[in-house]
Amino acid sequence: MNRRDILKGLTILPLTGGIVGKAAASIGGKAPALPVKPERDLFKELGVTPVINASVTMTFLSGSLMLPEVLEAINSTSHDFANMYELQDKVGAKIAEMLHVEAAMVTSGAACAILLSTAAAITGTDPEKIKLLPNLPGPRPEVIMQKTHRYLFDQAVTTTGAKIIEVEGADEMEKAINDRTVMALFFNAAEKSSIQHADFVAVAKKHNIPTLLDAAADVPPVENLFKYQKIGFDLVTFSGGKMIRGPQSAGLLFGRKDLITAARANHSPNEAPIGRPMKVNKEEMFGMYAALKAYLERDHKKEWEDWLQRAKHIGSQLETVQSVKTETLVDPGPANAFPSLKVTWDPEKIKIKPEDVVKALKGGTPSIVAGGRKDHLLVGVVLLRPDQVDIVAGRVKSILQQAT
> Between 203 and 250, whose beta carbon lies closer to ligand PLP?
250
DSSP letter assigned to residue 132: H
Can you spell out the DSSP letters for 240-294?
A: SSSTT---TT-EEEEE-HHHHHHHHHTBTTSSSSTBGGG---HHHHHHHHHHHHH
User: Residue 42 CB, nearest distance to ligand PLP (Å)?
Assistant: 23
User: Residue 217 CB, nearest distance to ligand PLP (Å)?
Assistant: 4
Contact between 252 and 117 under an 8 Å Cβ cutoff? The reply is no
Applying CB under 6 A, which residues contact ligand PLP?
Answer: 59, 109-111, 153, 189, 214, 216-217, 239, 251, 335
User: Residue 199 CB, nearest distance to ligand PLP (Å)?
Assistant: 21
User: Residue 252 CB, nearest distance to ligand PLP (Å)?
Assistant: 9
* Degrees, nearest 5: CA angle 276-281-285: 115
Nearest to 141 by CA among 119, 167, 165, 122: 122
> Between 25 and 253, whose beta carbon lies closer to ligand PLP?
253
Percent helix, strand and coil across the chain, each to the nearest 5? 45, 15, 40
Contact between 166 and 146 under an 8 Å Cβ cutoff? The reply is yes
Per DSSP, the three-state class of 357 is helix
What b-and-e string marks burial along 64-75, b requiring 16 or more CB atoms within 10 Å of the CB? bbbbbbbbbbbb
Q: Rounded to an integer, what distance in angstroms lies between the CA atom of residue 399 and that of residue 402?
A: 5
Contact between 106 and 96 under an 8 Å Cβ cutoff? The reply is no
> Containing H/E element for 339?
strand 339-344
Dihedral sign for Cα atoms in the order 33, 37, 43, 47: positive
Residue whose CB is nearest to ligand PLP in the complex, by number: 109
- Number of Cβ within 10 Å of residue 200's Cβ equals 26
Nearest to 344 by CA among 360, 361, 324, 320: 324
> Between 242 and 310, whose beta carbon lies closer to ligand PLP?
242
User: Residue 275 CB, nearest distance to ligand PLP (Å)?
Assistant: 13
> Between 24 and 288, whose beta carbon lies closer to ligand PLP?
288
> Between 65 and 177, whose beta carbon lies closer to ligand PLP?
65
User: Residue 244 CB, nearest distance to ligand PLP (Å)?
Assistant: 10
> Between 238 and 345, whose beta carbon lies closer to ligand PLP?
238
> Between 228 and 345, whose beta carbon lies closer to ligand PLP?
228
- Number of Cβ within 10 Å of residue 144's Cβ equals 27
User: Residue 111 CB, nearest distance to ligand PLP (Å)?
Assistant: 3
Nearest to 387 by CA among 17, 23, 25, 19: 25
User: Residue 59 CB, nearest distance to ligand PLP (Å)?
Assistant: 5
User: Residue 62 CB, nearest distance to ligand PLP (Å)?
Assistant: 11
> Between 27 and 335, whose beta carbon lies closer to ligand PLP?
335
> Between 203 and 213, whose beta carbon lies closer to ligand PLP?
213
User: Residue 288 CB, nearest distance to ligand PLP (Å)?
Assistant: 11
> Between 280 and 350, whose beta carbon lies closer to ligand PLP?
280
Amino acid at residue number 5: D
